[in-house]
Structure 1
Amino acid sequence: MPIRKQTAPPRPLTVGDVVAAPSRELGEWTAAQIVRLDAGSQTAAVLELDWSGPEPSSAADLGDVAPLRLTHHSWNGGLSFCNKEWVLPRSHKVVGAMPLLHDKPSNCWASGWHLGDQLARQRRWDSGVREDPVATWKAEYTGDTLNELLSRRTPPRPEIEHLTIRDIDSLDCARLVQCFPGVSWLRLHGRLGTLSGAGELNRLGSLRRIGIAELFGMTEQDRLRPQHVPELEWLDLYSVPAAYASAMRSTWRPEIPAGTYVSVLRARKPEWVAENRSNPLRDWDGREHIGAATYRKAVAQYRTTREAILHVLAEEPADVWSARMEEVGRAYGEAFNKLDRRPGFIETVEREELFDALDHIVKEAEALQGRALKDVGDSLISGLESVRDW
């Protein structure tokens, strides 16, 4: 049975409503007004207000309030006004309504409400402070750096509330939780890495926001449970095991009306992981404007190019490498010219990814050859640039 398209926000919202929320950046509450609701995109146009104070019980508590205008950094007095997903976070509340303070559409789109962040920056700017203060409650690591830290039996760091870990090859969630027990925002980004003990994340009782991408090893038993992380208001999963994705989706969809935003995309089966571990174009699989047939042809061409490069380096004399790599680069460019001709799918991101794919092959070749191959990479790019029209 097809899922019916929602015609209204899952938590009640009406144009003109005033929403209040606690702000970590301000250390008090702030507010915004709902200017528009769009059922097609399931977004709310949110106008931030130039107000902060104790938790309000009604819109009248805000007094004679005005929209927040931004002049900090490169802003030129425009409104802090943006389209956001229309799931009102569970930590936010509607305190009443007032006549619209602005009635035009917004051309800004953002993920997450983050009320108070812009007001805090503007107030610092108005007081003469040009640099954002160091947020001692935030931390960011690579997977390797964090694993080294955890191996030293570092004392717990309960002061860290926002934690981002990138380029994860493997990570033990039990050790993560032990070191960072107070995390409320957690972002885990892998390289088709392994996340072990993911069920331990249920011990993060203050967790409000979590994003997991390109990580595997989790099972349905590892799903987060509402009774353990009752404040969760943002769940974003991308390219994770299919069973885990299904369990998380079914567990958290009923929480959407209570204020949890749920996005689960690119659920992967084990065979997909095995096939794509060394495929730098794997993120194209399922990308909105790239069809399945186009994706398969792109991967086939990448593999053809990889085989050609490795063959030249293994079987042909070094004095012909430059000329041969230019040939391979031209063939790569011409193949993607042809592939792009009808659907026109190669945009800025895809163009960079195609260059990165060549770099990926060169790095693999360097590991096999045991030496730097900068000239090989330069020749490939030279050949590619001579023909590409994307």
Structure 2
Amino acid sequence: MSIRKQLAPPRPLAVGDVISAHSRDLGEWTAAQIIRINADTQTAAVLELDWSGPEPSSVADLGDVAPLRLTHHSWNGGLSFCNHAWVLPRSYKVIGSMRLLHDHPANSWAYGWNLGDQLARQRRWDRGAGEDPAAAWKAEYTGETVNEFLSRPAAPRPEVAHLTIRDIDSLDCAQLVQRFPQLTRLHLHGRLGLLHAAGELNRLACLRRIHVVDLFGMTEQDRLRPQSVPEMESVDLHGIPADYAAAMRSTWRPEIPAGTYVSIRRARKPDWVQENRNNPLRDWDGREQISTTTYNRAVAQYKTTRKAVLQTLAEEPADGRSAPLEEIGRAYAEAFNQLDHQKGFIETVEREELFAALDHIVNEAEALHGPGLEDARNSLISGAESVRDW
């Protein structure tokens, strides 16, 4: 059975429409115009307008508006104009339409709708404030620091609306919700870590966006429920338990026409987590331009390289390691040269990850043999650099 191609955005949206939303950065409403809609990529090209003010009820309330041009930081007067996923967030509204203020395709892509962010930055720049000020309503932690913070008695922090936590090994969501009860955005990035009591996130009644990467421990009973988080606009989950992923898909896909963007990818079985905990290339599994065959070959080559490096460091004297390690580095790079020639998948991110994988091997060796293997690290990298064409 073929899948019918979606021809229009889930929420009604047309070229020429003017949309408006409240911006936390500005403390006011702001607006933008829809310039193009692409059904193939399911994106809308959005041109921000140089306007903010009270909530508008129609285009007439905007007055004589112009596109927003950016000169802050490294911008050189270009338009604030980029492609967004075509699911218009539920808190955004269409206030009418007007003649197009621009008629060219957008060449950049945005992650999430953040109407007002660029206008706020530009206005600060125009006032002579070069750097963005620290906002009391934004907070960012590592997993280690937030766990230390949550373990100490303290009053709740209702002023924090946007919270990002990175490098999570373990996190208690019940404690998190108690300390940060008014979150509207929550970004959690794990290291194949565990989320405990994830169902407690349903107590975040104001939550609009959730982004979870490489975290496990959640069950289908922990799924977020629309009646508990009715303002949800973005459910973005990558690298999560398969059962939880299925429950979240079935729960939130019906909410897309109401203005909830849903992206749930890389659902993982428990055995995958165990098999890949020490695999620095695990993020390639399921990446858009990397096939399963390519991923498996890449992991096999990484394992071959790892075995050769650890064996050399265990058996060769320190003054005799340089040449064999350089040769291992060359073999590693040549193997990925061949793989990339066949599949054409190594771009900037993948190149950095391939070198990070070599670092990972040396770090593992230092854990076994003690620190002081910088010469080994340099030899590996030198060998790879001498022949790589990615």
Counterpart of 2:270? 270
Aligned to 1:266, the other structure's residue is in SS state: strand
Distance 2:279 2:77 in 1: 45
Q: Give the deviation of 1:220 after TM superposition.
A: 0.5
Aligned to 1:386, the other structure's residue is in SS state: helix
Structural RMSD (CA):
1.3
Counterpart of 2:11? 11
Deviations 1:247-280 (A, max 9, x none): 1011000110100000011111111111111100
Distance 1:51 1:337 in 2: 50
Q: Give the deviation of 1:2 after TM superposition.
A: 4.2
TM-score, scaled relative to structure 1? 0.97
Distance 2:131 2:355 in 1: 35
Counterpart of 1:143? 143
Paired amino acid for 2:68: L
Counterpart of 1:381? 381
Say whether 1:192 aligns with 2:188.
no
Deviations 1:165-219 (A, max 9, x none): 0111111111111111111111000111111111011111110111000111111
Distance 1:67 1:337 in 2: 45
Give the 3 Å change call, closer, same or farther, for CA 345–120 of structure 1 in structure 2: same
Counterpart of 1:236? 236
Paired amino acid for 1:41: T
Distance 2:41 2:26 in 1: 30
Give the 3 Å change call, closer, same or farther, for CA 344–104 of structure 1 in structure 2: closer
Q: Give the deviation of 1:163 after TM superposition.
A: 0.5
TM-score, scaled relative to structure 2? 0.97
Paired amino acid for 1:125: W
Paired amino acid for 1:241: P
Structure 2: gaps of 5 or more residues? none
Distance 2:293 2:76 in 1: 46
Deviations 1:261-302 (A, max 9, x none): 000111111111111111001111122222211111110111
Structure 1: gaps of 5 or more residues? none
Counterpart of 2:214? 214
Distance 1:361 1:209 in 2: 36
Paired amino acid for 2:204: L
**How many equivalent pairs are there?**
390
Aligned to 1:181, the other structure's residue is in SS state: coil
Counterpart of 2:117? 117
Say whether 1:55 aligns with 2:55.
yes
Aligned to 1:342, the other structure's residue is in SS state: helix
Q: Give the deviation of 1:128 after TM superposition.
A: 2.4
Counterpart of 1:169? 169
Counterpart of 1:345? 345
Counterpart of 1:226? 226
Q: Give the deviation of 1:81 after TM superposition.
A: 1.3
Q: Give the deviation of 1:344 after TM superposition.
A: 2.2
Paired amino acid for 2:222: D
The equivalences for 1:1-390 within 5 A come to 1-390=1-390
State which drifts further: 253-262 or 113-122: 113-122
Distance 1:301 1:130 in 2: 47
Aligned to 2:343, the other structure's residue is in SS state: coil
Distance 1:358 1:107 in 2: 34
